[in-house]
Every structure is written in structure tokens, then in C-alpha cells.
Chains A and B, each alone.
Chain A
């Protein structure tokens, strides 16, 4: 039915005979995987009668509705996971690390492209004095691990990379600092 209508519309648009032959060969794609779009569908009178269910059940539909935006975190509880919310006032430090849209600290584990075995800890969204933050975290990690830690600062992209997997340690340090 749909393809017939489309054909007549196209025939009205183009009056030339050479275009008619082209237009009649066009078919609109039908989606047969859906029963509603299949040629077996009949008119609504042939289907079952139905009645409305009590509106008390609508609350169960509302329960299935997802948040349109990322919901704000609750402030009235003790946080049992290792996640803590950022402090209300930013810490008095020359640098600042912004949280992600999901309220997470932007510290990730990357794998070097050349050698997959090389683990790189990356801190993103750094504002202010990036070199001061690098020195602070580097000295903390060297104190904890008792090993020299290799780092690379990228001022333009506002990130720092550390060679090795220090994700949990860096996350904990940043959250305790109030970021």
C-alpha cells in the first residue's frame, strides 16, 4: 500500500515519460521484522477487543522511567564505597582537578599503543599549576612505593601521565585533597 502511494506521488511530481519509467521502479523499504509493518496486518476491527486497566498501575510504568540527566548524589548518608563527594568549597591549592559528569575523579588506566603491557595512569581535567600537582603526586607515590616514578606533563591537554598502575592511590589522594 505504501509503495503504491509513493509511486503515485512520484508520478504526479514528474510528468516526463522518461522519468516515469524510472519512478515506477522505486520501492519504499518495508520492515517485515515488525508485525505492525507486515503485509499480514489487518484493519483494527479484526483484532481483539480491549479495556483499560486501572490507573493505579501507572506508578509501575513511572518506576521504569530513567533519569533524563545525571542525578545529583545524595548527601545524607555515609558512603560505604571508596567514593566520596567533592568538598563544597574548592581546596586552597594552586591547581584544581575537575570531576567528570558522573561525579567521578578523572583518573584512568591506559595501555600504551605500542606495547600493550605498559600501563599508564592518566589524570585528566587539571586546571591551574599542573607542575605543582605533578610534584605533589609524584613525591606521594615515591613515598608509598619506595621506587622512582616516571611522569609526563601535557599542559595543553591538561593531563599528567605516570608510568605504572597507580589509579587507586592517585584517586584516593585527590579525593582526600578535596577534589
Chain B
């Protein structure tokens, strides 16, 4: 319930009421003159909002690259349930094609990182390519006779790799993979991270060193029956195995086309 509008009139503050006094505003100063200080001002003290140092935890978060995790346990479960085929090289396309992980490059997701959960029970022998991996994970893969590479993909390539069939239907040529940004070059050229831009001889040396460090015997790849699969690698400018940048795939007629223009060939040259 509420009284009608204009039914109650606020009494006027007369100059003479309450004995003609100060009406609660006090005597002299900012109270009487109603000129209040700005917010946070402590009349000459070092104010509270400047006394505490700033801690910018999320500074530059909109520029940082995100790598959603996949654990070794999840990878082993995918192998056990037949969601990925370990007899072929596993890359971002194979992981996305399992339809168990969704990658959104438009939200600054630049691929997957392999994490160490389920490291002790990992038995898969795989040739895997991820975007980030720790030293323990690399050791767990190589102990079983597998091969791991860390590789960078730009967002345009990732949009094509996330759903290749949808990309081929669009009729756009396969994009050329771009080089990593300045702050990622060090990671992807380091043989300790098994970077795709590292020297293969140094990678072989680091494989041996890591086996010494963690105390396992490195399986000999030369006598391996699956050597061809384990050595399968992409070119630094390539995003799909066996398909070059610049090619157009026609899914309906099952044909692949290559451009003949010299400038285009020069651009797509690896």
C-alpha cells in the first residue's frame, strides 16, 4: 500500500526552525559548504588505493595462446576404444576427428597440449604431433618406441584442420602453414621440446639424453617394422600429411587439382 501521488507534502526547511541552527551540517568547513572530497582522498595521507601494490594477474590475457589439455590417460583410452588409429600418425586432425575434443581457434586456442596424467600406465606406441608437451610426457612416449613432435599451426590452418571435409567442400585451396610468432620460435626450434623446426640430429641426441636421464632403454627405431609410419613427418609449411598447400580437393569427383601460375607456385613453395 502506498499513498496517492502528491498526497503527502515534504515540509519545507524553514530558516527559523530548530532554533535557526545548522540543520545537521555542522559549523564551517566542507560539511557546511557541502563541497565533499573526491572518492578515496584521505586529506593528505597516502590513500588506501595507492598504498597496496597492483598485481595484474590477467594482464595481456587476450594475447596469450591457449592449448587445451589432453592427458596420456585420455590418449590411451582413445587407443583402447578405437577412437584413434595408432597405426597411422596422430596429429591434430586425428584428435579432432575422434569428435571427442572441440577446438575453437577463434577463441585463441592454438591446438592441444599433452599432459602427464596416466603417465605410468601409458603403453601406446604412436607417432604423435601435438602443440605442447612436457619432458615427462616426451619420455613416456619415447620409452614405448614412439615418436613425438611439437608443431605450431596458425589459426587459418587450424580452422581447416578442425574439420577437413567441411573445408574441402568450401573449394578453397589448402592454406600454407605460417611460421610461429616471435615468442614461440624458441620453443619450436628447441630439440629438447622435439620442436618441428629443430635439427633432426640434435633431436636424436636429445632422445638419447632423455633416456639416460629417466633410466629407460631407448628402443631401436632402425629395426622397427613400423619405421615408415614412425618417420612420417609434415613439411613446416604443410598442414595435412601428403597434401601440399595450394591444392584444391574435389570430394565429389575424388580429384585433386594443382595451380600452374608461377606466382602461385612461388608462394606455395615449401
Contact = CB atoms under 8 A, between A and B. Distances in A.
A10 B158 CA distance: 41
Interface in A16-69: 34-36, 48-53, 55, 57-61, 63-67
B129 to A, nearest CB: 14
A73 B82 CA distance: 5
A109 to B, nearest CB: 15
Interface string B65-83: 0000000010011011111
A77 B86 CA distance: 13
Interface stretch (A78-86, A117-125, A149-157): A78-86
B115 to A, nearest CB: 15
B122 A63 contact: no
Contacts of B170: 34
Given A80-B80, A80-B121, A80-B124, A65 B260 contact: no
A102 interface: yes
A46 to B, nearest CB: 11
Contacts, number: 96
Given A80-B80, A80-B122, A80-B123, A63 B257 contact: no
A53 to B, nearest CB: 4
Interface string B50-67: 000000000000000000
Contacts of A57: 242-243, 256
Contacts of A78: 123
Given A52-B257, A64-B165, A66-B165, A81 B76 contact: yes
Contacts of A83: 77, 80-81
Contacts of B249: 61
A167 B234 CA distance: 40
A50 B259 contact: yes
A52 B93 CA distance: 25
B240 A58 contact: no
A51 B242 contact: no
A85 B100 CA distance: 18
A58 B168 CA distance: 13
A53 B258 contact: yes
Given A80-B121, A80-B124, A50 B260 contact: yes
Contacts of A49: 259-261
Contacts of A79: 80
A167 to B, nearest CB: 14
A55 B256 CA distance: 8
B233 interface: no
Contacts of A55: 254-255
* Max count, chain B CB within 10 A of own CB: residue among A35, A51, A53, A77: A53
A82 B100 CA distance: 18
A53 B88 CA distance: 23
A74 B73 contact: no
B242 A50 contact: no
Contact of A60 (B80, B124, B171, B243): B243
Contacts of A53: 247, 255-258
Contacts of B264: 48
Interface of A: 34-36, 48-53, 55, 57-61, 63-67, 71-74, 77-83, 102-103
5 contacts: A49-B260, A49-B261, A60-B243, A61-B249, A66-B99
Given A64-B164, A81-B77, A83-B77, 9 more contacts: A52-B256, A52-B257, A53-B257, A59-B242, A61-B249, A64-B240, A77-B80, A83-B81, A102-B81
